[in-house]
A and B are shown apart, each in its own frame.
Chain A
Amino acid sequence: MTGLRFGVLLSLICSLALLAWQVLHARSFGQQRPLSRPRGKPHRGIFYSLGPGMLPWEKESAAKHLPTYLAGVLYHAGIFAAILLSLGLAVQVDIPKPLPTLFMVTMAGGFLAGTGLLLKRSLKPSLRYISCPDDFLANILVDIFLLTGLLSVSFPALVSFFLATAILTFLYVPLGKIRHCFFFFYSRVLFGSYFGRRGVLPPESRAKRRDKA
């Protein structure tokens, strides 16, 4: 068990190091600074992009796919709970009640959501068309991580299985699509900056311009 606990921490460190390396790799491509005169403020676009711009009433794709959007939120909440639980177990912190129950409920929701998303990817032809093996493997691995985490709360004998899947999951993060846990923020900042600079986002700034006009 000590080995597994140590393994969780080590795999997380490896994962973070590899993710940081990938971010540095992306940055090594270089970037020409924008040379046109700005029309809006990039930081306002970034704030919108990371905040209100993600909400279903702002984003048509989320509004049109509300169940998928909510499943995504639930899935990520479950993953976050499972990561916290695995780290808590790895550093042997006593998790105060009612957090274990809360983690369990969140992981259960996350597992159901993750399984639902996996089914959707498997059954919907258009999604299958854009999928590669990584899309399925990442989803299955995380679903197992959530399931073992969920079961380990009720059955302490399963903690070692949970820690083992945590190690596998952490090690897999930088190899495939799960790397978006880092790149999501990077991309949203770039997106917000691009559209903020052009005065397209956030919409409130336009409303002010319109009123001024």
Chain B
Amino acid sequence: MSRGEVLTAFPTGSLDEKIEALSEGDIQKILAVFREKLDASAAAFLYSCVHCGLCAEACHYYLATGEAEAMPAAKLELVNRIFKKYHSLLGRKLRPLLGAPALSRELIREWVDSLFGRCTLCGRCSLNCTMGINIFTLIRAARSALAAVGLVPPGLQSTVETAIRSGNNMGISKENWLETIAWLEEELQNEVGEPEVRLPVDRRGAKILYAINPREAMFFPLSISAVGKIFYAAGEDWTFSSVNFDVTNYGLYSGDDEAAATMSARLLQAAEELGCCEIILAECGHGFNSNRWEAPQWLGQEQKLRVRSILEIVAEYIRDGRIRLDPARNAKLHTLHDPCNLVRLGGIIEEQRYILRHAVENFIEMHPNREKNYCCGGGGGQLAMSNFAKRRIEAGKIKAEQVRATGAEVVATPCHNCIDQLMELKKHYQLAIEIRTVCEIAAEALIITPRAKR
């Protein structure tokens, strides 16, 4: 069955009904796809878990709820049962001893509930695992198996489908995108007082293709203006694509590798068609992880173009003296939330701190921070899965407490999913904070020298 057929296999009805309607063939398909996603690393990891449970408090779901089901080891065990039963050397013979039941509808229900509904694939448990098991990769493998039979929660699946159908996850038409850019360009020219300021689209031969999170165009246009302003100040040679401008890739979360590959290929194609030699990704955690680290695996090819985060080049501009910042313009107390996909799983850890050190007067770290930071709860596709929204907000309590403890007035975070979650946490947990991207803060501090005077 192709992915397109899967999408129409369960046109209506809840996930429970879909699970009840699964045929023996569907169950076999789950097993086959799960097997296909297992590689030597996954098998070694699954052979390794000793159920020590020390990972429990690494997970914000467990910390917030205390539910045993939320322990990373419990979630991993759901996956491991199938490995032990069907793929390990001795699991079939020692089933009662090892706890390895056959794949049943009940277990599939638990997979959907826990692997989609109690995990943000943030990787914090892996860092705290005694054995060093990359639990998030195994949970994603199980999500892939569920995706193969249409068992991705509807909100998340619909986001993937919208991106595949329209080219971006918000379904923004080319006309709307171009209108938004034209409007923002005009605003930016007025703000800077320079008619030369451009937000170029489809400029052939530009050095950089810049890709954004479509939520910026819909709800956070200031994020786009901020980067446009920084590019202008740095004298950067860059462009947007009129068609493929979406940095996000919800295939990472749904587990649908085929869809994920399609989305990442579009960005590469746009850059190649425009003759760009580098793709710069906007402040989007999972978009960075997808396009920087995972896309080559999905596409089965080495990275031809350099792919970097906007934070890397803004830090470079500051270091090279291409832009100057006045921290006095950001006098409030700032803190920084580290998005998991960008930091723990992406390796972009110091750049945002470097930028903020130059852009704000008062900065305080939250604790723990960097790769040890807690997930805000917005990753893993959680923001798209309304059926698990209550749990998401509950699990976000850890982040809310972490933010409150800093006493900061502004929370900087280089990720729009994190921003959305933090905004909900702000409302729910009554946090007196302002939430901004790192580039918005940097743009605020930017000292613009008119071109003529350079």
List the interface of chain A (C-beta within 8 A of B).
21-23, 25-32, 34-37, 39-40, 49, 59-62, 64-65, 68-69, 72, 124-127, 129-135, 137, 174-177, 179-180, 183-184, 186-188, 190-192, 194-195, 198-201, 203, 206, 209-210, 213
Contacts and interface: CB of A to CB of B under 8 A. Distances in A.
Contacts, number: 182
B297 A26 contact: no
Interface of A is mostly: helix
Contacts of A210: 350, 353-354
A175 B97 contact: yes
Contacts of A130: 51, 53, 68, 71, 73-74, 77
B46 to A, nearest CB: 8
B57 A35 contact: no
B147 to A, nearest CB: 19
B350 A61 contact: no
A187 B38 CA distance: 15
B97 A176 contact: yes
Interface stretch (B157-165, B300-308, B381-389, B441-449): B300-308
A186 B44 contact: yes
Given A36-B296, A129-B74, A213-B319, A29 B43 contact: yes
Contacts of A195: 127
A35 B68 contact: no
A36 B98 CA distance: 37
A132 B295 CA distance: 37
A125 B350 contact: no
B340 to A, nearest CB: 11
Contact of B45 (A21, A40, A124, A190): A190
A191 B349 CA distance: 18
Given A35-B301, A127-B53, 13 more contacts: A28-B40, A29-B40, A29-B43, A36-B295, A61-B54, A61-B57, A61-B129, A65-B54, A130-B71, A131-B51, A175-B94, A180-B48, A198-B293
Given A37-B306, A60-B372, A200 B128 contact: no
A141 to B, nearest CB: 12
B155 interface: no
B51 A179 contact: no
A62 B54 contact: yes
A183 B131 contact: yes
Contacts of A177: 49-51
A146 to B, nearest CB: 17
Contact of B133 (A29, A131, A191): A191
Nearest to A59: B128
B354 A61 contact: no
Nearest to A184: B131
A132 B97 contact: yes
A65 B130 CA distance: 12
A22 B128 contact: no
Nearest to B54: A61
B201 to A, nearest CB: 28
B413 to A, nearest CB: 18
Q: Give the interface centre of A61, A68, A127 by most chain B CB atoms within 10 Å.
A: A61
A191 B132 contact: yes
